[in-house]
Amino acid sequence: MAPTIDGGIRQIAAAEPDANGAVRIVAQVRSRTEPARWWQPAGRTVAAAFSVVVFLAASLGMMWRVRSQREDAEVALSMASRISSWKSPTQELLRSPYESVLSGTPHLGAGFYQLDAGDSKTKNSAPRVKEKQKQ
């Protein structure tokens, strides 16, 4: 009877599916349906690509910071130059448009007549006399 029991157990064991069979079948189905990847990066490649991306991001951040600092410095310098040429509004309001006239001594008649003592009589009177003689 022992050989018959052993034979029966063997038949039952052969008829039952394998415990790893489901995993094997699913893997075969996936390999048939999924397209093969043409490039699968290794761990070092992924690490190198990540480090390049981090380096580029840091470089762009530094360039952005330097540019913003330069713009801030230009704004500060332009403000300083404006402050150096600033005039008090009270000085401008208190200034008179006639300040140049009022600050000096007036010369009466200097703008209207040429007052030369010796030349004025001969130059001005001579042509008039000649004109009267011709008429």
| For residue 135, pLDDT beyond 60 | no
pLDDT, mean of residues 7-25: 75
Q: Alpha-carbon dihedral of residues 123, 126, 132, 133, nearest 10 degrees?
A: -150
pTM above 0.75, yes or no: no
DSSP code, position 104 = S
Condensed to tens digits (0 to 9), the pLDDT of residues 63-96 reads: 999 999 999 999 999 988 888 777 777 777 777 7
User: Rounded mean pLDDT of the chain?
Assistant: 76
| pLDDT tens sequence across 40-66 | 778 888 899 999 999 999 999 999 999
128 near 134, Cβ under 8 Å?
no
- Is 45 within 8 Å of 37 (Cβ atoms)? no
Cα separation, 47 vs 53, whole angstroms: 10
Residue 51 tokens read as 């480090």
pLDDT score recorded for residue 57: 96
Q: Which two tokens stand for residue 89?
A: 């509004």
Residue 100 has pLDDT above 80, yes or no: no
pLDDT value at residue 133: 54
Alpha helices in the chain, H assignment, sequence order: 2-15, 21-33, 43-84, 89-94, 99-103, 119-134
The pLDDT tens digits of the residues spanning 105-133 come to: 766 666 655 656 655 455 555 455 555 55
